[in-house]
Amino acid sequence: MAEKQYSMEKLIILFLVLISHFDAYSALAGETPKRIISLAPSITETLFALGLGDNIVGVTNFCDFPEEAKKKPKIGGMSNPSLDAVVSLKPDIVVVTTDGNPREFEERLRSMKIRTFVFGSRRLKELPGGIRDLGVAMGVRERADKLAKEMETTLNSFNNSLRVTRDASLRKKVLFIIWPEPLIVAGPGTLIDDVIRLLDNENIASRAKATYPKYSIEEIIHQAPDVIIIGKGHADMKEASSSLLERLKSVPAVKNKNVCYVSDSLYRLGPRVAQGIEEFAGCLR
Amino acid sequence: MSKIRITVLIIIALLIILCSLFLGPRVINPFGLSEVEKEIVFSIRLPRVVVAVLMGMALGAAGAVLQGVLRNPLADPYILGISSGASLTAALGLLSGFYSFGRFTLPLTAFIGASLVSLLVGAFGWKRGGLWPERLLLAGVGLSFLFHAILMLLMSVSTNEGLRRALLWIFGDLSMADWSLIPYGLVFIAAGLFIALLRAKALNALILGDEFTHSLGFSANRERLLLFVSMALMTAASVSLGGTIGFIGLLMPHIMRFVAGADSRALIPASALGGGAFLCLADLIGKSIFTPMEVPSGIVTAIIGSPYFLYLLRRRDVLSI
Amino acid sequence: MSSAYSAPVLELERVGFTYSPDKKIVDNLTFSAGNGEFIGLLGANGSGKSTILKLASGILKPSEGSITLWGKPLQSYRNKDRAKLLSYFPQLLDINVPFRVRDLVSMGLYPYDIPPRITADEAMEAVGLKEKAESYITNLSGGERRRAFIAMTLLQGAGLLLLDEPLANLDIKYQIELLRLLKELKDNKNISIIMALHDINIALRFEKVMLIKGGRILGIGKPVTVLSKEMLEEAFDVSIEIRRSETGGTYIGNEKNF
């Protein structure tokens, strides 16, 4: 039985190879893989945005956007995906990220002759390029190009409008809270830090030495942020952060009611980044 | 001789507490407080110092009590699984989205967990009308491993990022300390400490063994139960105030036997005082060393505590094991 | 003197003790200790000596029979009141906490709200440990440790001492010193002592001995009558030889040398 299946597969591969030889266009663009596994929520979102949702056969336990992603078979966590689950889904390609997946896992897949694509973008300005590369590998170059262009337009619009019109005194001190108790904030090297910079404001936690530092409350009082942005979490964030904000009541952001609750769109370097930037811009206006 | 040592201990403890108020990520001049600095000292640092002192006192005293009750100088309040039980119930509460008591939810679930585990360990340790030290120890170690395993299981299958972050709290975090929890912690810790001091003579007798305890006019079973309750109250209150802080319960009684003597009537208050000052110091270091980031105090106590403990092991007059 | 003997300090009446019904550790035991009596409890290993002392001290509760202390049931005393009348000294002194000798000895005062006349210093003096008062108990030799615990028992000042092998692991010098000390207590303070021991030759010097086998009394009375060749052979299950020296002393040994 297994023998038969194996030869069936061989036949299919032969068939595909033949087709790709005959069809010059598709050979140039790269074949669109039929069975894709995504090892990160940001990649899952990007693949869906590129119209590849139907080709995805496996996602991580954390992939919850868009809604359809939740129905896909799960292959485990980001840091601990199950090799067994990945292999048994017979992927044509596995998309891994340098930001969260273990490197050894990718090497292991390659040693088993499973094709991989490494998504290397980690910062905001690398994202359009990353999407283009992904698009080429997935055989959807045009769609990727379109998505990347949209993104570049958004980024540039903020860049240009702000750089020209604002002077330094309008710059606001911003703190992004990921979790209130214990207090975890967005530090340097994060997408959130990039966006705060893009909008020409200052992230007060950018001096910290970790990307997601456990932050000192008295330092916040000293640094007196003008705006506090609180990201979406698994609890009701208004309720969860109420006692923290009570203690920060003397800080300008809290005093002037400049506390803003946003979605989780900036937690993932994917297609919703533009939407996240708009949200931030709204908070900082 | 030991009177001088105890006086020095009290002075050091007070100095550390004062330092914790005015040192930190930024040094504050106590004689020229600005508005912001006033707020930092009185509503951020002071409650934090009080929580650190309370937790440290509870752990130090609980360690002194437990080492006597179990007749084992290597016992630590956490060896009985009380902290891992508290961590587990706290994690389960977070996972199920239980948030009915607002900011008290986490401390409350931890306290319930710690109390339940104490009862469970007590039930396992109970035989023929009394608690048996060996049974307590084995039950505690066994349950501790079980709770750890379940906790690890939850961590590895859970996609709830909030849980992972809140587990930081379980690893000893005083950053959320404020006045609201202090009265509750104070009540339980004071009750535990009161029982412990009241039964300090009986604890001395228990250290000599059950037969001497009986001969000296105590009921070994009754005294052991009372002291166990006292230890459980202090440990549970401490865990729910600020999570799991290791090493104080093990280390303080050892240091204090050298400073104040092995007599429980001196050892319990000295361990409490030393524990309070030590945790205060550890927290000061934890919040100052990588400013503006904070290192959980439990990590600092372990890093300072273990080398000192190894040094103590070399002093044969303090330890005879 | 005879009036003192008339009031028994401790009475055991048909006392039995068992963990499981099929094996009795102590069986139908009846004896009493009078005021100022010094009784040696002799028997092979596992004969029930320790159990008898634990029953008499109230650590173990008898399965049957009754035990009275000064005419009242032992169990009816409050712990503290009993501790003023009766002291038990276990066979094993296992301690790993560095108490100072003075602290340890002072624990003898725990049953009292108002300290009795003897002080910790006097108790340490009595056992020759005065100069070690500030030492850690864990740094003392085995013999010194035992004497420190004896000092604690002296300070406790009970009229009845139940001692489980207090001579074990002591050098001959300290054995003699301790026995002398106990005899002084008995003579001067009219203290009653029941002491388990296993050296037959020391038992010979007691006024009264009790020979135990299988939780029963084999014989009780003066050593000359109780410690006969037949009785000892029965109690210890080994052949025994009794020699009398020219000075009138007696020596009991095994007839075979090894």
Give the number of other Cβ atoms within 10 Å of residue C230's Cβ: 9
Is there a single domain that holds both residue A138 and residue A172? no
* A185 and A251 part of one domain: yes
CATH number of residue A90's parent domain: 3.40.50.1980
Task: State how far residue B31 is from chain A, nearest Cα, in angstroms.
Answer: 18
Model pLDDT, residue A51 = 92
- The Cβ-side half-sphere exposure at B107, using a 13 Å CA radius, reads 23
Q: What are C148-159's pLDDT values in tens digits?
A: 998 998 899 888
B125-to-B141, B212, B225 alpha-carbon distances in Å: 12, 21, 11
B44 contacts in chain A (CB < 8 Å): 217-218, 221, 247
* One domain, residues A134 and A97: yes
pLDDT at C247: 66
- State how far the Cα of C7 lies from the Cα of C3, in Å rounded to an integer: 7
Q: How many Å lie between the alpha carbon of C232 and the closest alpha carbon of chain B? A: 30
Given CB atoms, is C20 within the 8 Å cutoff of chain B? no
> What is the pLDDT, as a whole number, of residue A42?
92
Query: What's the number of domains chain A is made of?
Result: 2
Answer yes or no: do B219 and C110 touch at CB < 8 A.
no
Q: Looking at CA atoms only, how far is residue B72 from chain C in angstroms?
A: 8
At B105, the amino acid letter reads T
Name chain C contacts of B262, Cβ cutoff 8 Å.
Answer: 97-100, 103
Please give the mean pLDDT across all residues of chain A: 84
Of A9-13, A79-83, A99-103, C225-229, give the lowest mean pLDDT range. A9-13
Query: Do the Cβ atoms of B240 and B110 come closer than 8 Å?
Result: yes
CB environment B251-273: b (16+ within 10 A), e (fewer): bbbbbbbbbbbbbbebbbbbbbb
- Cα B96 to chain centroid distance, Å, stands at 27
In sequence order, which residues have a C-beta less than 8 Å from that of residue B269 and are 6 or more positions away? Answer: B61, B197, B260
- Does the residue A253 lie in any domain? yes
Nearest-CA distance C100 → chain B (Å): 8
Residue B238: give its domain's CATH number: 1.10.3470.10
Chain C nearest C-alpha distance from B208 (Å): 6
Give the one of C94, C107, C138 whose C-beta lies nearest to B204's C-beta: C107
Mark yes or no for CB contact B294/A250 under 8 Å: no
* Facing B219 at nearest CB: one of C79, C93, C100: C79
Kindly tell me the burial class for residue A83, based on how many C-beta atoms sit within 10 Å of its own C-beta (0-12, 13-18, 19 or more).
Answer: middle
Per-residue model confidence (pLDDT) at position B25: 83
Q: Do chains A and B touch (3 or more CB pairs under 8 A)?
A: yes
Share of chain A above pLDDT 70, in %: 87
Find chain A residues with C-beta within 8 A of B290's C-beta. 209
Q: Do B166 and A233 touch (CB under 8 A)?
A: no
**Ranges under pLDDT 50 in chain B:** 318-321
The reply to whether A204 and A244 lie within a common domain is yes
- Domains located in chain C, CATH noted: 2-254 (3.40.50.300)
Are both A107 and A203 inside the same structural domain? no
Q: Are residues A83 and A134 in the same domain?
A: yes
pLDDT for res B146: 93
- Chain B residues whose beta carbon lies within 8 Å of the beta carbon of residue A40: none
DSSP chain A: -HHHHHHHHHHHHHHHHHHHHH-HHHHHH-PPPSSEEESSHHHHHHHHHTT-GGGEEEB-TT---SGGGGGSPB-B-SSSB-HHHHHHT--SEEEEETTTS-HHHHHHHHHTT--EEEE---SGGGHHHHHHHHHHHTT-HHHHHHHHHHHHHHHHHHHHHHHHH--GGG--EEEEEEETTTTEE--TTSHHHHHHHHTT-EEGGGGSSSSS-BB-HHHHHHH--SEEEE---SS-HHHHTHHHHHHTTTSHHHHTT-EEE--SGGGSSSTTHHHHHHHHHHHH-
Determine the distance in angstroms separating the CA of B262 from the nearest CA of chain C, rounded to an integer: 5
Q: What is the pLDDT of residues A199-242, one digit of tens each?
A: 889 999 998 888 888 899 989 998 999 999 999 877 788 888 88
Of B215, B261, B321, the CB nearest to C103: B261
- In a domain? residue A17: no
Residues in Cβ contact with A126 at an 8 Å cutoff, skipping those fewer than 6 apart: A120
* pLDDT at residue B88, rounded to an integer: 87
Task: Please indicate, yes or no, if residue B89 is contained in any of the structural domains.
Answer: yes
Structure tokens at B115: 């109390």
Nearest to C75 by CA among B211, B226, B227, B214: B214
The H or E element spanning position C254 is strand C250-254
For B162, which of A214, A217, A235 is closest by C-beta distance?
A: A235
C92 and B CB contact within 8 Å: yes
d(CA C159, CA C177) in angstroms, rounded, equals 20
pTM value surpassing 0.80: yes
Cis check for the bond before A182: say yes or no (omega within 30 of 0): yes
**Domain containing A67: what range?**
32-148
Whether chains A and C touch (3+ CB pairs under 8 A) is answered by no
Identify the CA nearest to A125 among candidates A175, A176, A197, A63: A197
pLDDT in the model for residue A210:
87
Kindly state the tokens that stand for B195: 């029982």
Helix (H, G, I), strand (E, B) or coil at B26: coil
pLDDT band at A18 (very low <50, low <70, confident <90, very high): very low
A9 CB contacts (<8 Å, ≥6 apart)? Answer: none
Look at residue A24 and tell me whether its pLDDT is greater than 50: no
Q: Which chains touch C (3 or more CB pairs under 8 A)?
A: B
Q: Is residue A158 part of a domain?
A: no
Identify whether C62 is preceded by a cis peptide bond (ω within 30 of 0): no
Residues of C in contact with B317 (CB under 8 A): 98, 136, 139
> A22 in a domain, yes or no?
no
How many cross-chain Cβ pairs, A to B, lie less than 8 Å apart? 101
Domain annotation covers residue B318: no
φ/ψ of residue B207, rounded to 5: -65, -30
SS3 B9: helix
Predicted confidence at residue C257, as pLDDT, reads 55
Range of the domain at B135: 2-313
B–C touching, 3+ CB–CB pairs within 8 Å? yes
Give me the residues of chain C with pLDDT under 70, please.
1-7, 245-250, 254-258
> Taking Cα atoms as reference points, which of B199, B234, B233 lies closest to residue B219?
B199
Give the number of domains in chain B.
Answer: 1
Same domain, yes or no: A198 and A129: no
Phi, psi of B267 (to 5 degrees): -65, -40
Per-residue pLDDT reduced to its tens digit, A258-277: 999 998 888 889 889 988 89
A84-131 pLDDT, tens digit per residue, is: 899 999 999 999 998 888 888 999 999 988 999 999 888 888 999 999
Whether residue B167 lies inside any domain: the answer is yes
Q: Provide the pairing of β-strand B126-127 with C160-164.
A: unpaired
- For B178, nearest residue in chain A (alpha carbons): A247
The pLDDT value given to residue B199: 95
Tens of pLDDT, residue by residue over C196-214, are: 988 888 888 888 999 998 8
Q: Judge: B106–A250 Cβ closer than 8 Å, yes or no.
A: no
The residue out of A148, A178, A207 marking a domain boundary is A148
